[in-house]
Amino acid sequence: MDWKTWEEEEAKVYQPGTPVQLKRERGKIYYVEEYDAMLVPPIWLEDYPKPCYPEELRVVSNLFCVLPQLCLLPQKTLQVA
């Protein structure tokens, strides 16, 4: 896989609106605001003051939300990674 393909794949994973957790800050869920491969680190989160590297984040899936009314996340459209 060349760097261009890798960059495109990473951009798909961290699309705006994707729910993530900081690995060092369990329990709090953030949403990706922007992914810019030209920035280092490339991922900006909503309501978080500095950009992050992908290895600092864990993508949160909505697979555990069987019923929307029981979902623990705020009302946003979730994306499965």
| DSSP string covering 61-75 | PSTT-SSGGG--S-S
pLDDT of residue 72: 54
Rounded distance, CA 43 to CA 33, Å? 8
Rounded distance, CA 40 to CA 13, Å? 17
pLDDT in tens, 33-60: 999 988 899 999 999 999 999 999 999 8
- Establish how many alpha carbons lie within 13 A of residue 25's alpha carbon, considering only the half-sphere containing its beta carbon: 10
Q: Is 43:32 a contact under the CB 8 Å cutoff?
A: yes
The mean per-residue pLDDT over the stretch 56-72 comes to: 64
pLDDT of residue 61: 75
Q: Where are the alpha helices (DSSP H) in 1-81?
A: 3-13
Where does the pLDDT of residue 66 fall: very low under 50, low under 70, confident under 90, or very high at 90 and above? very low
pTM for the structure as a whole: 0.71
